[in-house]
Amino acid sequence: MRIVQKFGGTSVGSLQRIAHTADIVQAELKRGNQIAVVVSAMSGETNRLIAMAHELCTMPAARELDALVATGEQVSAALLAIELQQRGIAAYSHSGGQAGFVTDSRHVRARIKNVDGRHLRAHLEAGEVPVVTGFQGVDELGNITTLGRGGSDTSAVALAIAVDADMCDIYTDVDGIYTTDPRIVPRARKIERIAYEEMLEFASLGAKVLQTRSVELAMRYNMPLHLRSSFEPVTGTMVVQEDDVQEDNSMERATISGVAYNRDEAKITIMGIPDQPGIAAKVFGPVAESGINVDVIVQNVSEQGYTDITFTVPTGDYQQTMEIMRRLCEQMHGRHVKGDDSIAKVSVIGVGMRSHAGVAKDMFDVLAQEGVNIQMITTSEIKITVVIEEKYIELAVRTLHSAFGLDSE
């Protein structure tokens, strides 16, 4: 098999960890596999570099920031190559540009245009181990670019696709995706196989194991991902096509794969604004321009020609969004703006929902029995999300996890 192994910051966080990572690479080579490696910067390094730039200047040029932070991954790639060479392995470091990553020119948040895998494929066929810097590439003019925080996951998946790998192993400090947060539900189970689409829902709900873009990319090219721990040699979670998700001993798949939550949410309501075409665009335009991500949205018709719009934003953007809304409300002669930052979001996720009616009703029943009031609801084909008071979040997660049969025996 041809495998791309990606190691995150903690897996290359010290010389000792680098040696341990080399053990993992070596073991996989011994099994007869061809290996290309993608590394992150040593943990904390990217933050350290960015902080230095900001000490010099409040708004450092994005081009120079990229040149600066790209060094983090060069350090860990070179160190890992040195360690592997010392063991007699033909391993060579490659920067993003050397490895064939071409991106657009949007510094600090570049997108990959294409990866020319010919060069590295030749190295792999010669039995070598390319060690590639994650997170970076070059634009068409040769400027160094980076892919946004957490970008080396996306580098790894893109490389796996470019060299026709059979799969991409993502090594991190957790050993997979769980049916919910084990800190809240000790009986949460590790999910053996999960569909790309489910993984996207988990990722966008704040399961910070993978950059969301990397899952989108893997899904588009059907590249299997194995999320696993570099600390413990156990099988992790496979992220695969929906058709390839099958529980080993059950004929049918469970309806719900997991319960996710996010406390980092705030709710804002703008009341008594004119109910007319273009009003939603007017409300959300300035929010989007500020780069704030709006999530759940509910619009209600109130009295005679007026409407209320309620929506959620990340807690960190709450104050700024409140200011934007107050200004807008005044301009539109609206009635009032109301905010609440002690809310949270809980979701049940599962591709099994597509073929099972009534999941939403079951979820609402369970929450009602516990006396949890639902403030907002939103659904997709494979997810139902409700907004509730933050103080009930643990109760909600625990009861939903058990009601949907996810607790381990």
Residues engaged in binding Mg ion (CB under 5 A): 8, 150
**What is the distance of C-alpha 74 from the center of its chain?**
23
Q: Is residue 96 within the footprint of ligand ASP (CB under 6 A)?
A: no
Q: Whole-angstrom Cα distance, residue 155 to residue 158? A: 5
Q: Is residue 152 within the footprint of ligand ASP (CB under 6 A)?
A: yes
Q: Whole-angstrom Cα distance, residue 173 to residue 163? A: 26
Q: How far is the CB of 47 from ligand ASP (least distance, A)?
A: 7
Residue of 286, 193, 293, 310 lying closest to 243 (CA atoms): 193
Which helix (H) or strand (E) segment holds residue 361: the answer is: helix 359-369
Q: Is residue 150 within the footprint of ligand ASP (CB under 6 A)?
A: yes
Nearer to ligand ASP, 60 or 339 (CB): 60
Q: How far is the CB of 40 from Mg ion (least distance, A)?
A: 6
Q: How far is the CB of 88 from ligand ASP (least distance, A)?
A: 29
Return the range that interacts with ligand ASP (CB under 6 A); candidates 39-47, 50-58, 165-173, 371-379.
39-47
Residue of 148, 128, 147, 136 lying closest to 84 (CA atoms): 128
Binding-site partner at residue 41 among Mg ion, ligand ASP, none, CB < 5 to 8 Å by type: ligand ASP
- As to burial, measured by CB atoms within 10 angstroms (0-12 exposed, 13-18 middle, 19+ buried), residue 210 is buried
Binding-site partner at residue 96 among Mg ion, ligand ASP, none, CB < 5 to 8 Å by type: none
Are the C-beta atoms of residues 362 and 371 closer than 8 Å to each other? no
Rounded to 5, what percent of the chain is helix, strand, coil? 40, 25, 35
Q: Is residue 352 within the footprint of ligand ASP (CB under 6 A)?
A: no
Tokens of 386: 């409700």
Q: Whole-angstrom Cα distance, residue 53 to residue 296? A: 36
Q: Is residue 46 within the footprint of ligand ASP (CB under 6 A)?
A: yes
Are the C-beta atoms of residues 270 and 327 closer than 8 Å to each other? no
Nearer to ligand ASP, 97 or 350 (CB): 97
Nearer to Mg ion, 40 or 310 (CB): 40
- Position of tokens 């950059």? 211
- Position of tokens 């990866």? 115
Return the range that interacts with ligand ASP (CB under 6 A); candidates 146-154, 297-305, 318-326, 350-358.
146-154
Q: Whole-angstrom Cα distance, residue 395 to residue 398? A: 5
Return the range that interacts with ligand ASP (CB under 6 A); candidates 151-159, 271-279, 297-305, 342-350.
151-159
Nearer to ligand ASP, 135 or 318 (CB): 135
Q: Is residue 133 within the footprint of ligand ASP (CB under 6 A)?
A: no
Return the range that interacts with ligand ASP (CB under 6 A); candidates 143-151, 315-323, 363-371, 375-383.
143-151
Nearer to Mg ion, 73 or 139 (CB): 73
Nearer to Mg ion, 8 or 130 (CB): 8
Listed in sequence order, the residues at least 6 apart from 360 whose beta carbon sits closer than 8 Å to its beta carbon are 377, 379, 384
The number of beta carbons lying within 10 Å of the beta carbon of residue 364 is: 15
Nearer to Mg ion, 93 or 172 (CB): 172
Nearer to ligand ASP, 149 or 335 (CB): 149
Q: How far is the CB of 146 from ligand ASP (least distance, A)?
A: 8
Are the C-beta atoms of residues 345 and 310 closer than 8 Å to each other? no
Q: Is residue 9 within the footprint of ligand ASP (CB under 6 A)?
A: yes
Binding-site partner at residue 312 among Mg ion, ligand ASP, none, CB < 5 to 8 Å by type: none
Q: In this structure, are strands 101-103 and 112-115 parallel, antiparallel, or unpaired?
A: antiparallel
Q: Is residue 135 within the footprint of ligand ASP (CB under 6 A)?
A: yes
Cα-based angle 115, 116, 120 (whole degrees, multiple of 5): 110
Nearer to ligand ASP, 146 or 399 (CB): 146
Residue 89 is given by DSSP the state -
Q: How far is the CB of 131 from ligand ASP (least distance, A)?
A: 15
* SS3 state of residue 120: helix
Q: Whole-angstrom Cα distance, residue 307 to residue 303? A: 7
Nearer to ligand ASP, 7 or 392 (CB): 7
Q: Is residue 145 within the footprint of ligand ASP (CB under 6 A)?
A: no
Q: Is residue 134 within the footprint of ligand ASP (CB under 6 A)?
A: yes
Q: Is residue 72 within the footprint of ligand ASP (CB under 6 A)?
A: yes
Q: Is residue 131 within the footprint of ligand ASP (CB under 6 A)?
A: no
Positions touching ligand ASP (CB under 6 A) are 9, 40-41, 46, 72, 134-135, 149-153
